[in-house]
Amino acid sequence: MSVNPDHNLQTSATDSSGAKLPRHVAFIMDGNGRWATARGLPRTEGHRQGLEALRKVIRHAGKVGIDVITIYSFSSENWSRPEAEVSFLMGLLRRFVQRDLSELHEANVKIRIIGGRRDLEPGILKLLKEAEDLTRNNSGLELVVAFNYGARDEILRAAQALAQKVADGVFNPEDVTEDALSGELDTSGLPDPDLIIRTSGEMRLSNFLLWQAAYSEFYFCDLLWPDFDEAAFDQALDCFGARERRYGGVSAKTF
């Protein structure tokens, strides 16, 4: 995979038809609970179907030639959900790793986990580490799983790491640059997301990739996550292809 670690802002690639393709797409997979409630089912059934939608998205991303996808699978705030739902989500993550890991590895997918590791249950930590270790040298699609993730927490941890370097005399305050901070984030070395997709009609970032989203394009759709499929993904990619990204500059058309 051709991810350039030195540049967080990169021009997008193109697909075989020459259309602009995002290199990195991030997903806020929202609406599982509503999907289930609308069908008179327990919320957990929405999460189960959500995992099916995720499998479709991973396969499709690989097929169309996207380099990186990031999924918001469990936020640091999600622990406040009812215990039974949290426990179901942990079980789903366990099943996802146990059932899908070998298939993902065969498909050359590289898994990376972002989010706070401190205070995680040892069983979950072991599982996450196993997924990363097995796929570390793969060179295909990079699947970034945001688990126990909160962007403010990620930025704070990075700021603390830099402050420690200054305190240790390894860094001068003026060495605290954008690149230095990016390098301390959990996403260090990854390109910033070109496109962030949120389903279910909600239009907010919910503490997801706050630093990395500085120049991301946003795509919101009304579909609930379990209904998000290849066609919906293609529609988002088409919409991205039609966007003009200026990174704070002016349109080429105005010259």
Bridging pattern class, strands 142-149 and 217-220: unpaired
Q: State which of positions 204-233 bind ligand FPP (CB under 6 A).
A: 225
Which range binds ligand FPP by CB under 6 A, 11-19, 49-57, 125-133, 175-183?
Answer: 49-57
Q: Does 78 bind ligand FPP (CB under 6 A)?
A: yes
Please pick, among 15, 78, 153, 207, the residue that the annotation labels catalytic. 78
- Cβ of residue 226: shortest distance to ligand FPP, in angstroms? 8
How far is CA 214 from each of CA 60, 67, 196, 209, rounded to the nearest angstrom? 26, 19, 11, 9
Q: Is 173 exposed, middle or buried (0-12, 13-18, 19+ CB in 10 A)?
A: exposed
Please pick, among 6, 8, 15, 30, the residue that the annotation labels catalytic. 30
Q: Does 32 bind ligand FPP (CB under 6 A)?
A: yes
DSSP state of 28: E
Position among 88, 96, 233, 240 found at the interface with ligand FPP (CB under 6 A): 96
Cβ neighbours of 36 (radius 10 Å): 21
Q: CA geometry: angle at 76 spanning 134 and 84, to 5°?
A: 90
Q: Does 47 bind ligand FPP (CB under 6 A)?
A: yes
Residues engaged in binding ligand FPP (CB under 6 A)? 29-34, 47, 50-51, 54, 73, 78, 92-93, 96, 225
